[in-house]
Structure 1
């Protein structure tokens, strides 16, 4: 699955000369937390997000009072930049210009990694220098609901084949159990043995639950004593 499969094509955007108040209203009524800033030629100039509008002098959320030691360590560039964020009237002055972008062929796994790494909620999709869509976290969640494939039929339903499939599912993992610690009876997987942490136990249980034909998973783990 790629960006073109999940992106929003109806783009809510801002112009650099749009007022901050109008941009805030557009985001509120459109139900979005950010939007690309595009000029008359369709070029992407930046993104304006809730974070860019969070600290504003007119609503009393500006950073007006700083501890004296913060004033000492902050550069005049940082202080001036913060002042602009708090007082500027135009989107072009408050928008974020360091914008990550993707193309329509970008795999959704790469998009998810980008959003997490950059700590952003949405990313513009580009084609020939123009914005043709936006992929947000909510787009990825919708894809999970509407496009997630069913579990493959990787067993014939017998206890033996289910056990083999469970062992195969965990074989390459660093938290894999020894084969003698996995048993199956009437489609119920039993996982035995000591584990290092509760997280490893959860991973083993989830791996077993994702094998087709499994009717349930019972764990019989022991955590090492502190």
Structure 2
């Protein structure tokens, strides 16, 4: 992992939301996509914050807060209490998001990213260039880099291709990342598990073929059993 940089680790094509996105819509987004955080970007594509599961839980927990008694209010911190009230009662991303964005540029070394996560006690960092969001690096990305050998000859690693395919699938509502698994060997994408229809299989093939570095696609999926349709 010595020569790896943020651009080699990051998940590109990150799902983002504008500052005006309702809280409930973000909660559904995280649940449906199976992600734990979503960056907030303005109209210019500049990252202005991040909404995490913890932020949404804090928002939901805030609904049960009771008004402070008069004695507690005498010793309270008005600025801190006002900030907490806004984050626990806000209805849009700009109110509940963590605005202290921790970001790195694409050329930041993987070791520096790891130290930053450790020092700040965070689970992810944004990758930005001139303020614009380029991707996101999570702890899971760092762990995968430790167990995946770097690519040779300037080619994209199989792990990076796999993450790019998974990121593209998560952006498409018809692509099932729960029942359909992705593997990459020598640049060839292999789909395993179940698929809902021939149309979905065709869509997955085209999706994978559009990912840079993909040399071929092999579909090993099987038709989804009827009993799974009831729970899917």
Coarse TM-score class (shorter-chain normalised)? 0.5 to 0.7
Q: Which residue in 1 is equivalent to 2:88?
A: 86
Q: How far has the Cα of 1:73 moved from its partner?
A: 3.6
For residues 70 and 119 of structure 1, the distance between their equivalents in structure 2, rounded to whole angstroms, comes to: 30
Classify 1:89/1:60 alpha carbon distance in 2 versus 1 (closer, same or farther; 3 Å).
closer
Change (3 A) 1:106 1:87: same
Q: Is the 8 A contact 1:2 1:107 kept in 2?
A: yes
* Structure 1: stretches of 5+ with no match in the other structure: 150-226
Shift of 1:112: 0.8
The reply to whether residue 7 of structure 1 matches residue 32 of structure 2 is: no
Q: Which has more radius of gyration?
A: 1
Among residues 23, 35, 60, which one is paired with 2:38 in the alignment?
Answer: 35
Q: Cα distance 1:6–1:70, how it changes in 2: closer, same or farther (>3 A)?
A: farther
Using the size of structure 1 for normalisation, the TM-score is 0.59
What whole-Å deviation, never above 9, does each CA across 1:95-141 have from its counterpart, x for those lacking one? Answer: 11111110111111110111111111111111232111100111111
User: Counterpart in 2 of 1:143?
Assistant: 145
Q: Which residue of 2 aligns with 1:117?
A: 119
2:77 maps to 1:75: yes
Q: What do the CA deviations read for 1:177-207 (whole angstroms, capped 9, x no partner)?
A: xxxxxxxxxxxxxxxxxxxxxxxxxxxxxxx
Task: Identify if the C-alpha distance between structure 1 residues 70 and 113 changes in structure 2 by more than 3 Å, giving closer, same or farther.
Answer: farther
Deviation track 1:19-55 (CA, whole Å, cap 9, x = no partner) reads 0111111112222211210012111111111121122
2:63 and 2:89 in contact (8 A); partners too? no
**Secondary structure of the residue that 1:55 maps to in structure 2?**
helix
Post-superposition offset of 1:18? 0.3
Distance across 1 between alignment mates of 2:12 and 2:56: 25
SS at match of 2:87: helix
> What is residue 156 of structure 2 aligned with on the other side?
none
TM-superposed deviation, 1:65: 6.4
Asked if the contact 2:62/2:88 (under 8 Å) is kept, the reply is no
TM-aligned CA distance change 1:68 to 1:136, over 3 Å: farther
1:85 counterpart SS class: helix
* Counterpart for residue 23 of structure 2: 20
Let me know the Cα RMSD of the aligned residues. 2.4
Q: Distance in 2 between matches of 1:34 and 1:79?
A: 25
> Which structure 2 segments of 5+ residues have no match?
152-232
Alignment of 1:192-207 (within 5 A): none
**CA 1:122–1:69: 2 relative to 1, 3 Å:** farther
| 8 A contact 2:103–2:128 mirrored in 1 | yes
- What is the CA–CA distance in structure 2 between the aligned matches of 1:142 and 1:79, rounded to whole Å? 40
Higher relative contact order (Cα pairs below 8 Å, separated by 6+ residues): 2
How many residues align structurally? 148
The equivalent residue for 2:208 is none
2:27–2:56: 8 Å Cα contact kept in structure 1? Answer: yes
